[in-house]
Amino acid sequence: MKAYIFPGQGAQFEGMGKDLYDRFDVAKQRFAQANDILGFDIAKIMFEGTAEELRQTRVTQPAIFLHSVISAELLGDDFKPDMVAGHSLGEFSALVANKTLHFEDALRLVSKRAEAMQKATEMVDSTMAAILNLDDKVVEDVCRKIDGIVAAANYNCPGQLVISGETDAVKRANEALLEAGARRAVLLPVGGAFHSPLMEPAREELAQAIEETTFHQPIAPVYQNVSASAVTDPEEIKKNLIKQLTAPVRWTQSVQQMIADGATEFYEVGPGKVLLGLLRKIDRSVQGTKIDNVSE
């Protein structure tokens, strides 16, 4: 069975999408729509912007979404998913690919999400950190004992868990986790504490936009970050998508469940190959392929 997976924030690169725009009419159409919906020239930033400009949340999220959705559309009749999933932001790309959301509606939600997350990050001094080579339960237990807000945010693969919260609390957690046996505890160059309780203002803002958007019956189940299980009911998809901002991304568990449900081939659609790298660390027995209709 074929599983298509879509990357999240961090997969951006300078010049991204230029080759798609130059070669394909559907890409030109999508970029024009995006410029209109977003109210700024995202094509110019993607094609000519600096790494710093691309790191702005309001740019990064729609940029990765655009690149991923166009790449999936270019597969045409070859796109026959048995299941889909996306890492954090990538869940929106997955929901367009499996026909749950129309492109325009999804891009509006991605834009609203990025703006809401940006605002939430400005309310509290917060950050994230990658914890390497430590059992998930140990990380969870240590975080619970730390004064302040800090919690597991991204279960990326066995031995790689990202924590998120108030900067001081994350730093204290890093020290405690190194003492508990972590090989490394590295602060990440991010704007705030994504997938933590500190994103509650963003969750509330996005919830209204999601509730007002029409979700359709998907052509294939989506394995959502919050539940790490197959979902086909549009209303349940909505609820999980709202919870996603303050809940951890259960990527390890999602991939394991997809494999348990019969996935034997994984295809990463969009910029970069981060998810294929994680796939190899989760289960080397399944095949992973990069959808290569672009040059990077």
Q: Do residues 163 and 107 both lie within one domain?
A: no
The pLDDT value given to residue 296: 40
The parent domain of residue 205 ranges over 2-121+197-290
The pLDDT value given to residue 82: 98
The pLDDT value given to residue 186: 95
Q: Do residues 96 and 23 both lie within one domain?
A: yes
Q: Which of 68, 88, 227, 254 is catalytic?
A: 88
Q: Do residues 179 and 282 both lie within one domain?
A: no
Q: Do residues 117 and 183 both lie within one domain?
A: no
Residue 254 lies in a domain: yes
Q: Do residues 113 and 134 both lie within one domain?
A: no
Residue 251 lies in a domain: yes
CATH number of the CATH domain containing 285: 3.40.366.10
Question: To which residue do tokens 């294939």 refer?
Answer: 220
**Of 121, 136, 124, 105, which is closest to residue 253 (Cα–Cα)?**
136
The pLDDT value given to residue 190: 82
Q: Do residues 44 and 86 both lie within one domain?
A: yes
Q: Do residues 41 and 143 both lie within one domain?
A: no
| DSSP structural state of residue 249 | B
Sequence-ordered list of residues with C-beta below 8 angstroms from that of 271, at least 6 positions apart, any chain: 7, 11, 12, 13, 16, 64, 67, 68, 294, 296
Q: Do residues 55 and 133 both lie within one domain?
A: no
Sequence-ordered list of residues with C-beta below 8 angstroms from that of 152, at least 6 positions apart, any chain: 136, 139, 140, 143, 161, 162, 163, 164, 248
Q: Which residue has the higher pLDDT, 253 or 77?
A: 253
How far apart CA 140 and CA 173 sit, in angstroms, is 10
Residue 289, Ramachandran bin (φ over 0: left; ψ between -120 and 50: alpha; else beta) = beta
pLDDT higher than threshold 80 for residue 92: yes
Q: Which of 195, 196, 227, 254 is catalytic?
A: 195
The pLDDT value given to residue 138: 97
CB of 199 closer than 8 Å to CB of 190: no
Residue 216 lies in a domain: yes
CATH number of the CATH domain containing 131: 3.30.70.250
Verify whether residue 195 is a known catalytic residue: yes
pLDDT higher than threshold 90 for residue 28: yes
Predicted TM-score of the model (pTM)? 0.95
Verify whether residue 295 is a known catalytic residue: no
The pLDDT mean for the chain works out to 95
Q: Do residues 15 and 84 both lie within one domain?
A: yes
Q: Do residues 174 and 95 both lie within one domain?
A: no
The pLDDT of 250-273, averaged and rounded, is 97
How far apart CA 26 and CA 267 sit, in angstroms, is 21
